[in-house]
Amino acid sequence: MKIYAAILKKFTSAAIIMIVTGMLTCSAADTVSLTDEEAAWLSEHPVIRFAIDPDNAPIEWINRKNLERGMSFDMLKLVEQRLGIHFERVESAGWIESIQMLQNRDVDILPAFRRAKEWQQKLLFSRPWFSLPGVILSEQKYQTLEELEGSKVAVVHDYIWDDLVSKNDDNLIIIRASDSHRCIDLVVQGGADAMVGDIASVTWILNRSGATHLRIRPVAGQYLDLSVAIRSDWLLFQNIINKVLDSISQSELDKIEEDWIQLIEPAFWKDPLFQVVTLFIVIIILSILTTIMFWNRSLQREVERNAAALEEAAMKLIHAEKMESIGLLAAGIAHEVKNPLAVIQMGIDHLTHENEGSEITRMTLHDMEHAVRKADGTIRKLLDYSRGTPPDMKAADINNEIRTVLDLISHECHLHQILIEANLTDELPWIVMDTDQVQQLFMNIMLNAVQSMEDEGGGTLSVSSKVKKLDSTELQRDSTGTLSSGDRVVWVEIKDTGHSIDEKDLGKVFDPFYTTRPLGKGTGLGLTVSLNIIRNHDASIDIRNRDEGGVSVLMMFRAKEVTEE
């Protein structure tokens, strides 16, 4: 902190000396020698209108109590004392508006104008009344701009320091921010390695942010000059203001500097080094005490945790084995049911051809035949789904697999008052897939949705399919990183109106044995198997919560130019 104070003393004083050296100064008196013409002009213009940059502390700004604060106001008070005139501020929303007001002559001066050389053809300017040294702010001990090579450097956009670092654009990574506050935030948060700015703005913000771990180093030979900008038709006032600036003494400039440019040294207990050392000592003491007190208890808890984990894993394996047995049993039952259905179908066929009964009898036989065929179709699909077959990759229409799975779960949905909405685009491009695996994929996703809506007492299961050409926005849903922008995909989305997934659980849904269902309600393997199927098909899957409630599962299959065999 003492180094900062030395920098302030050395460089701001040097800047002031540079301004006043060579000027025709008067004595320390509060009067200025004016010509008759200049005195007459002042008598005709007793009130001078001005505007400021309302958010440029500590140079000039309006505080929360609507009070005028800053270096430029102190300078204007000195001018008022010497000339016996009055300055009247005109409200301005920002710096750009203030410049426009001066060009339009809605105001007469801007007291703290930067980058005057660029406006010489449009406005008049006094000589600089203050020069602020440029500084490098960072955690490192950067001494020059050359040492910043390859670093990320923050600057205020379109400011003098932007011009300075832009000369080394090939060697620096320049981050342009809207103001000095944002630049310093970037350095504090690690978004930038350093900031280049003026010493007044930097020290003002540091005093209020408490970021005392940052280091300030001067940029040799670089200054921000503050001049009075004057309306272009007031050449006489330009001469007058220069005479006033010549009359301002070194002690008066020192007073402005002391009031607004300083780096407050924090109390020693706020020093980050002191805090880190103190925290380190406290942690060591607490660690020793904690180790002595809880060594035996921690071993006991570890044994208990391991035993519980083994028991839970065993229960999950037992349950998975039970589910496999139930699957085999269901397949056997299906075979048993098919035989009686076949006998019933034969009886219906016989009665239909042999019986010349009434119209009611024929309608009854027709309804019975329709019911038997529907039951037989459902059992056939269940048998097909239960068979384990080797992968068989071939071109197929994915809509057929979606419809097959919807038929299988339709009874379950009806039982739980779940409405099925299918919006399947006709004539989708065929994709190369293993139909059994894809059916299992859709079955896992849809059953999860059904179980979610069971808890809500019903809902809507929406299934849609279409073909899309991915753009950068849609590519954000490729959570597996499989696809690229411009890829043509078959887009299958399954949405439900059940309960959402806890945000903290979204990243775990594909983990083996992970489930939020009670024991006996799920193995936690469905989505793990689904992810493996997706990978086998060079596809992508994304699961996220819907804003209106429920979950959306998006699967994107790469569309290939294939035809039906």
* Domains annotated on the chain, with CATH: 2-266 (3.40.190.10), 393-558 (3.30.565.10)
Strands 130-138 and 124-125: unpaired
Q: Give the tokens for residue 97.
A: 């508006």
d(CA 9, CA 261): 10
Q: What pLDDT does residue 379 have?
A: 66
Distance CA 505, CA 519 (A): 18
Between the alpha carbon of residue 103 and those of residues 51, 207, 229, 242, the distances in Å are: 12, 36, 10, 21
> Minimal CA–CA distance to 15: which of 261, 277, 192?
261
> What pLDDT shows up at residue 13?
47
Instruction: Identify the pLDDT of residue 465.
Output: 94
Q: Quote the pLDDT of residue 123.
A: 92
Where are any strands of DSSP class E within 393-458?
393-396, 418-424, 431-434
**pLDDT at site 19:** 43
* Distance from C-alpha of 313 to C-alpha of 53, rounded to nearest angstrom: 68
The structure's pTM equals 0.43
Q: What is the pLDDT of residue 393?
A: 86
* Burial track 279-291 (b if 16+ CB lie within 10 A, e otherwise): eeeeeeeeeeeee
- First-last CA distance in the chain: 80
The predicted structure's pLDDT at residue 292? 82
pLDDT of residue 244: 93
- The pLDDT value recorded for residue 3 is 44
The mean pLDDT values, 10 residues at a time, for the chain of 565 residues are: 48 44 39 88 94 88 87 92 93 90 94 82 91 86 81 84 78 84 86 87 78 78 88 94 91 86 58 72 84 77 77 57 52 64 71 68 73 67 56 86 88 87 91 87 88 84 92 83 86 92 81 65 69 86 90 89 50
Judge contact between 263 and 210, C-beta under 8 A.
Answer: no
Q: How far apart are CA 221 and CA 219, in angstroms?
A: 6
Would you call the peptide bond into 128 cis, given omega within 30 degrees of 0 as the criterion?
Answer: no
> Which helix (H) or strand (E) segment is 282 a member of?
helix 272-354
CB 196 within 8 A of CB 155: yes
Closest C-alpha to 19, from 132, 128, 160: 128
Query: How many beta carbons lie within 10 A of that of residue 18, not counting itself?
Result: 13
Cα distance between residue 158 and residue 178, in whole Å: 9
pLDDT at 263: 61
